[in-house]
Amino acid sequence: MNRRPLVRLLLALAAVVLAGACRQDMHNQPKVKPLSQSDFFADGQSSRTPPADTVARGFLRADKAFYTGSEGGEFVSAFPLKIDRQVLQRGEERFDIFCSPCHDRLGTGHGMIVRRGYKQPPSFHDDRLRQAKPGYFFDVITNGFNIMPSYASQIPPADRWAIVAYIRALQLSQNAQLTDLSAKDRDALKAATAAPSPAGAKPESGHE
């Protein structure tokens, strides 16, 4: 039996299959690369100007108070997020990293680089800043003020609010009054300060 015709037929089929596999549709995709020339548009440019009011995915920023610290042209007086222990701890961490080099860890304005000649910032415990709204501090962190640069590219909005909350905690810690405490806390504080020293304990004199 002559098998040559069968072999030729199989080879022809194999050639057809292989030829189909050599198509470059996935390699040569119908697309344009950024800034490349295009024959489709009248100006010959492939890159197009986005339509007016276009917002990138994830950048809607609809909550003006949260993202700007202002509402109706005024700095917000209330935090646009819930402040709890976790937020304050985060704020302390971010404050120590970004703020304390100038403002020091208590916020008095005597940070390490100030001691080395950088202009001293005001103390957070000045009456003017104790009365400032939270939105004011958020705006300063976002846009900078005087010689302080903007930290918008380094600190995301949620962390900026955490820092502002921690600044409020610092201000309270250095300016708290006994009347700020509840009656229960005042009684506990009085009891603790009136408690007698343990037997045999010596008062601290600063010397061994």
Distance CA 129, CA 127 (A): 6
Does this model's pTM top 0.95? no
CA distance 205 to 208: 8
Count of other CB atoms within 10 angstroms of residue 87: 19
Q: Residue range 38-65: average pLDDT?
A: 89
Q: CB neighbours (10 Å) of residue 86? A: 10
**109 neighbors 102 (Cβ within 8 angstroms):** yes
Is residue 120 in a domain?
Answer: yes
What number is the average pLDDT over the span 144-172? 97
Domain total of the chain? 1
Task: Please give the residue that has the higher pLDDT: either 103 or 183.
Answer: 103
> What's residue 206's pLDDT?
43
| DSSP-assigned beta bridge partners for residue 70 | 75
Contact 139, 70 (CB under 8 A): yes
- The reply to whether 189 falls in a domain is no
The two structure tokens encoding residue 101:
């080099």
The answer to whether the CB of 160 falls within 8 A of the CB of 141 is yes
Residue 108 is assigned to a structural domain of this protein = yes
Residue 49 within any structural domain of the chain: no
The CATH number of the domain holding residue 86 is: 1.10.760.10
Provide the pLDDT for residue 9: 76
Instruction: Name the residue with higher pLDDT: 116 or 29.
Output: 116
Mean pLDDT of the chain, nearest integer: 87
Whether the predicted pLDDT of 205 surpasses 50: no
Asked if residue 71 is part of any domain, the answer here is: no
Q: How many other C-beta atoms lie within 10 A of the C-beta of residue 130?
A: 14
**Does 95 fall in a domain?**
yes
Distance CA 19, CA 4 (A): 22
Contact 125, 135 (CB under 8 A): no
Q: How far is CA 162 from the centre of its chain?
A: 9
> What whole-number distance in Å separates Cα of residue 136 and Cα of residue 129?
9
Give residue 103's domain range: 82-177
Confidence (pLDDT) at 25:
65
pLDDT of residue 132: 98
Instruction: Convert 20-44 into a string of H (helix), E (strand) and C (coil).
Output: HHCCCCCCCCCCCCCCCECCCCCCC
